[in-house]
Structure 1
Amino acid sequence: MQSRSVRTIECILFDSDGTLVDSEPLSFRLLAKMMAGHGAELDSEQLHTAYRGWKIGEVIEALVDEQSLDLPDGFETAFRARQVQCFEVELEPIPGVRSVLRSLSIPMAVVTSGPLHKVRKALELTGLDGFFGNNVFSAYDLGVWKPDPEIYRIAARRMGYPIHQCLAVEDSPIGLEAAATCGAVPVFLNRFGETSGYENVIEIASMGELRRLVTTFQSR
């Protein structure tokens, strides 16, 4: 864990998919399976590497072009319905996240590019919903998607804190771009040994390190 900032932190803004809940491997496995029924040849692990953090609609559009697919109307709607069914059976929180959230005595929110109903369902299924209450901000409601940094600025304002007094915790390249350029202290949950590409980013390898990081900020 590397920490360079000397700011006081009053609020933590979390990404959801891949940061709080381990949803993306499930989603990409389902997407590969459903698209295979329309002639696509896809590897779910490669999809995870290439499209982690993307809007699912944009992933589908990219794969339609790449694979020259002719998908039926309503494919994304059908995918989302089956995604919820998959979550109900298999979704788990990111390792260590529940105990970390339980230990934090600081305002927290979720900032996501996913639809609000999907994110709330994921938090409920993994037992994380109680940590955030109504503090779940979706790009579909805010009208701005990652990597646009404004999504974090809006969330910080709605939480009542200056953006520079917030941590923004992300796991994907697209999300990290928003976190690193919004004015918050960006934290990269680097679960896959990647390079962040931003000098101002604090890297952690596990959620357990986040607890120590917050303690460091609060002791200043």
Structure 2
Amino acid sequence: MTDAGAARPAPRAPGPGQGEAPALVIFDCDGVLIDSEPISLARLTAGLNRIGVDIDVETVRARFAGTAMTSIMGHVAADYGICVPDGFVEAVKADTLRAFDRELRAMRGVAEAVAALTLPACVASSSDPVRLRHSLGLTGLLPLFEGRVFSSAEVARGKPFPDLFLHAAARMGAAPEGCLVIEDSVPGVTAARAAGMNVVGFTGGGHWGHDRAGADLAAAGASRIFRDYADLADILRGA
């Protein structure tokens, strides 16, 4: 589910040509760099159930994966008629971080793939800055992106709007049409397309058991789907 009034995806930008490397690679974090979505979706579902929202984890995944908490709370109020109590978001975030400490892992092969990059790269995530740094630090990925980690808290509108990706590109000194985004959610793919960027879909996370082919991501505008970081080098070469 996306925010009302979200911009429709722009026609695909020309982007790097066949065999031409992008000027900047922008990674989403949750579900792309770290296998966090099964954990965070389960903790969010449990929290919503506690306040009377009748929803299961598969519905939470389908509707809210890749969406910032502020937007999720708005949808809960509009669709379920439940205004979350004070402190609810903070409690869910704290519960999620505790679960991360016990269970969180980096995606298989991602550290090696990112370390081997010869291109500029950064992170642009819907997660708040505290969770983002905690997650990347916990999985050992933060040193690979230090100083190049951007959160939706830094822009007026999160995904599916293009603001975060445009902000990241501007901070990195890259033109949008030269950027390649790696995303695992429909809001993220929609945001990248609206920013005029090429985007590929990643389905290697634990929450993608329902559709490893990434049909939803392709329909939203992902130019290619992959599930193994061993394929990243070929993708960056435009293969």
Q: TM-score range by the shorter chain?
A: 0.7 to 0.9
Q: Secondary structure, in 3 states, of the residue corresponding to 1:73?
A: coil
| Residue 96 (structure 1) aligned with residue 106 (structure 2) | no
Gaps of 5+ in 2: 1-15, 205-210
* Residue 208 (structure 1) aligned with residue 230 (structure 2): yes
> Please, which of 29, 32, 41 is the counterpart of residue 28 of structure 1?
41
Residues 198 and 36 from structure 1, CA distance in 2 versus in 1: closer, same or farther, beyond 3 angstroms? Answer: closer
Query: Residue by residue, what CA displacement relative to the aligned partner does 1:5-42 show, whole Å, maximum 9, x if unpaired?
Result: 43441221011111111212111211222233233333
CA distance in 1, matches of 2:99, 2:222: 37
CA shift at 1:55, angstroms?
1.2
Task: Provide the rounded CA distance (Å) in 1 between the counterparts of 2:84 and 2:157.
Answer: 27
Residues 1:116 and 2:129 aligned together = yes
Task: Describe the shift of the 1:182–1:65 C-alpha distance in structure 2 as closer, same or farther (beyond 3 A).
Answer: closer
Q: 1:55 aligns with which of 42, 55, 68?
A: 68
Are residues 1:188 and 2:188 paired? no
Secondary structure in 2 aligned to 1:137? strand
Q: Which whole-Å deviations, capped at 9, do the CAs of 1:46-68 have from their partners, x for residues lacking one?
A: 31122111112322332344444
Provide the C-alpha distance between the structure 2 equivalents of 1:88 and 1:33, rounded to a whole number of angstroms: 18
> Please, what is the CA RMSD of the aligned residues?
2.3
Paired amino acid for 1:75: F
**Structure-1 separation of matches of 2:194 and 2:103:** 34
Q: How does 1:121-132 map to 2 (within 5 A)?
A: 121-132=134-145
Q: Output the amino acid matched with 1:180.
A: R
Aligned residues with identical type, % of pairs: 28
User: Is the Cα–Cα contact under 8 Å of residues 189 and 207 in structure 1 kept in the other structure?
Assistant: no
Specify whether residues 202 and 65 from structure 1 end up closer, same or farther in structure 2 by C-alpha distance, changes over 3 A only. Answer: same
Equivalent AA in structure 2 for residue 163 of structure 1? P
Q: Distance in 2 between matches of 1:14 and 1:39?
A: 35
Offset from partner CA, 1:198-219 (integer Å, 9 cap, x none): 55622223322222212x24x9
Per mean C-alpha deviation after superposition, the further-off stretch among 154-163 and 4-13 is 4-13
TM-score scaled by structure 1?
A: 0.87
How far apart are 1:133 and its partner, in Å?
0.5
Q: What is the distance in 2 between the residues matched to 1:10 and 1:190?
A: 24
Query: Shift of the alpha carbon at 1:186?
Result: 1.2
| 1:147/1:174 contact within 8 Å kept | yes
Scaled by the length of structure 2, the TM-score of the pair is 0.80
Q: Structure 1, unaligned stretches of length 5 or more?
A: none
1:87 and 2:100 correspond: yes
1:167 to 180, 189, 192: 180
In structure 1, what is the Cα distance between the partners aligned to 2:231 and 2:117? 12
1:151 aligns with 2:164: yes
Cα deviation for residue 70 of structure 1 reads 5.4
For the 8 Å contact 2:200–2:222, the answer to whether it is kept is: no
Amino acid at match of 1:136: V
